[in-house]
Every structure is written in structure tokens, then in C-alpha cells.
Amino acid sequence: MNDTTDPSSHDRRIGRRTVLTGLSGTLVALAGCTDNSETGDTPTNSTDTTTEPPAAQSDAFAGVSVDAGQLVVTLARDTSAGWVHRFGPDGDLAEKAKVAPDGREAQFDLVGQSVDGYTPGEHRLAAVKNDKSVGEVTLTLEPEVTLTNFRWAENYPDMEWDKSANNWETHAAFRLENTGSGPAMLTRTRWRNAPFVLRTDEDEQTFDHPKVLPPSETTTIYAIPPVYETSGGLVGASSVECGKIDTKTLHLEAIVEPGADSSFSQMIEYGGEEGACELTIVDSETTGSPQTASNGSGS
């Protein structure tokens, strides 16, 4: 079996909380007064690491960061405000967040299972006291998600598969890297011509698969169906007649909101016979990223 997958050490993992750097005049004070003094990296807690903080900070705000699917706004110690308002790229008020009792933090849920999401682009935050703005910042929230590799359990037995299942070797996982400045959400996966789909009368199968994709992180997604299963297991499914198939191209579409979807295709050569299939991966391709999928064969 050949392996063309990038080592896991290449994954960019920058911690749960990522400080947003200036992309659109970030942290510009309403009155035009800014503090240009340099500040060092200050982790939120012992497990957090951050990127460099914004170069220019307003008097009202101490920092803006993303923690998983949340936007976390920290006010300066001498700022007195009861609310933070978020205005979307269209300039309209999108959401209000109450400042915590300690008077320092406000949080916005940008993505999640019970959240409508947000519009990518430049957003404006205003610290508000008695219905008056005491300071503003602007920042860009723009997710950029790509599928970086695809792994077959048979070739990667040391990953966190559910080995209590007798078909665990037929499962697969893939990795989604968010190199943008805003979080995204994997909502569904759509499969066509995968071995498990060929066992049914359907052209494709879709699975709900909600998973937050924080910025500056690579997230491993374990596929729900047994992707490479050719016989047994699925209710109402038959075995794949491998002796009658030359090659088929598996297609995976990862539905992401907000932002562009990621796609993956893999040409599989079928051999053997029904009930004793032999699968060989001939070629793989991901949309918008280099080919990094694993090659291998197995039944």
C-alpha cells in the first residue's frame, strides 16, 4: 500500500481561541483616537495560544478573538458599557451581546447547531452605554475551508476509530482546514459512487454532520457511513458485484456554512467477486487543494 498523505505534523492547530489580526482597519476607535503601542501575546488561559494581536487598538476595546464558533470581545478596563452591537457587512445591526457582569467580555455565537450563522465580510462592533456608542472596531470574518486529506481506516489503524464495530476498517476520515479569519460549520456530507452507496438503489446519500470549524485550525472529521464497505452491515443493501465493475469514482461533498463547500474525488478499481471484493485506489483529487489522499487496497 502506498501512502501519499501529508504527515499529521503539518496540521495547523493554533488553540481554541484565536486572536483576530487587523485585516480591515481592525480596532479603529469611533473618535479616531488609537493606541499604537505594541502588545505581546497573552494566552486566555494555560491551554490557549494566540496569533499576534492587532497593531492598532481602540481605547474602548482590549481585544477581539474567536473561540471555536464564538466571537469574544474584551473591553478595556476603563471602558463602561452594557452592550456590544455587531453590524454586518451590509451595515445593518445583526446582533446584540450583553457585557458580562465583570464588565469586560461579550460573546457572539457565530456558528453552531442552534445559530443562524453570519454573513462573511467586514463587521463593525460598537461598545454601547445608555444607547450611545463609546467606541467601535471593524474586523473581517471570512472563513476559507479546504479538504486537506482523506484517510481509509484500513491504512490508518492508529486513528480514533470505533474498533468495537466489526467493520471499522471500512470507515474513513477526512480533514478540513480553515485558513480564514472566521469560523465555519460543516453541516452535511454528500456521497456519490462510494462503495457503500453502490450497494443501494440510490444515486447518492447525504448525512447531517454538524461540526464547528474554527479559524486557523485543521479539524478531523470521521465519516458517518462505512465508506468502503461492499457487503454486509447495511439494512436493505446488497453486496457490490465487484467482478462486473472496472472503476468507479467516489465523490464527497462537504457542505460548509458560511463559505464555499469542499469536494473530494477518488477513483477506485474494483476486483475480486461479490462477497470478496478487492479495492485499489487509483487516483485522488481535492477541490482547491493539493492531492493528499492516501492510496491503498483492501476488501
Cis peptide before 120 (omega within 30 of 0): no
Does one domain contain both 59 and 164?
no
Instruction: Look up residue 149 and give its three cell numbers.
Output: 486529506
What pLDDT does residue 11 have?
Answer: 41
- 119 with 253, same domain: the answer is no
Q: 175 and 32 share a domain? A: no
Which of 98, 115, 141 represents a domain boundary (last residue)? 141
The pLDDT-based confidence of 179 (bands split at 50, 70, 90) is: very high
Residue with more model confidence, 238 or 19:
238
Q: Are residues 48 and 188 in the same domain?
A: no
Q: Are 126 and 157 members of one domain?
A: no
Same domain, 35 and 114: yes
pLDDT above 70 coverage of the chain, percent = 74
* Per-residue model confidence (pLDDT) at position 291: 34
In a domain, 11, yes or no: no
Residue 118 has φ and ψ, to the nearest 5°, of: -145, 165
Structural domain boundaries enclosing 112: 17-141
Q: Are residues 212 and 251 in the same domain?
A: yes
Looking at residues 113-131, what average pLDDT do you find?
93
The stretch 63-87 carries a mean pLDDT of 95
Alpha-carbon separation of residue 164 from 161, 167, 170, 299 (angstroms)? 9, 9, 13, 19
Is residue 6 included in any domain, yes or no?
Answer: no
Q: Residue 86 sits in a domain of what CATH number? A: 2.60.40
Q: Which residues pair with 213 in a beta bridge?
A: 184
Specify whether 125 is located in the same domain as 157: no
For cell 482590549, the residue is: 62
Give residue-wise pLDDT tens across range 9-20. Answer: 334 333 445 555
Residue 1 has pLDDT above 50, yes or no: no
- pLDDT(123) > 70: yes
Q: 242 lies in a domain?
A: yes
> Does 262 reside within a domain?
yes
Query: Where does the pLDDT of residue 237 fall: very low under 50, low under 70, confident under 90, or very high at 90 and above?
Result: low
User: Do 134 and 185 share a structural domain?
Assistant: no
The predicted model scores a pTM of 0.76
Whether 58 and 199 share a structural domain: no
Question: Comparing 100-109, 185-194, 283-292, which segment has the lowest mean pLDDT?
Answer: 283-292
* Whether residue 195 sits in one domain with residue 234: yes
Q: For residue 207, what pLDDT is reported?
A: 97
The residue among 112, 141, 170 that closes a domain is: 141
The answer to whether residue 222 scores a pLDDT higher than 90 is yes
**HEC secondary structure over the chain:** CCCCCCCHHHCCECCCEEECCCCCCCCCCCCCCEECCCCCCCCCCCCCCCCCCCCCEECCEEEEEEECCEEEEEECCCCCCCEEEEECCCCCEEEEEECCCCCCEEEEECCCCCCCCCCCEEEEEEEEECCEEEEEEEEEECCCEEEEEEEEHHHCCCCCCCCCCCCHHHCEEEEEEECCCCCEEEEEEEEECCHHHHCCCCCEEEEEEEEEECCCEEEEEECCCCCCCCCCCCCCCCCCCHHHCCEEEEEEEEEEECCCCEEEEEEEEEEEECCEEEEEEEEEEECCECCCCCCCEEC
Per-residue confidence band for 38, with pLDDT thresholds at 50, 70 and 90: very low
Structural domains of the chain, count: 2
Are β-strands 297-298 and 172-178 bridged in parallel, bridged antiparallel, or unpaired?
Answer: unpaired
pLDDT of residue 201: 84
Q: How confident is the model at residue 8 (pLDDT cuts 50, 70, 90)?
A: very low
**Residues in Cβ contact with 59 at an 8 Å cutoff, skipping those fewer than 6 apart:** 29, 31, 33, 34, 35, 76, 79, 135
Q: Kindly state whether residue 72 falls inside one of the protein's structural domains.
A: yes
- Residue at 1 is within a domain: no
- Looking at the domain assignment, is residue 62 inside a domain? yes
> Is 4 within the bounds of a domain?
no
27 has a pLDDT exceeding 50: no
What pLDDT is recorded for position 17?
55
Over range 272-290, report the average pLDDT.
Answer: 76
Whole-number mean pLDDT of the chain? 80
Grid cell 479546504 — which residue? 146
Q: What is the mean pLDDT of residues 158-187?
A: 95
Do 26 and 128 reside in the same domain of the chain?
yes
pLDDT score recorded for residue 102: 79
Q: Which of 104, 122, 141 is the last residue of a domain?
A: 141
Q: Is residue 196 very low, low, confident or very high in pLDDT (cuts 50, 70, 90)?
A: very high
Cβ partners under 8 Å of residue 214, min gap 6:
16, 18, 66, 67, 68, 69, 178, 183
Higher pLDDT, 16 or 52: 16
Mean pLDDT of 14-29: 43
- Which residues touch 42 (CB under 8 Å, ≥6 apart)? 50, 53
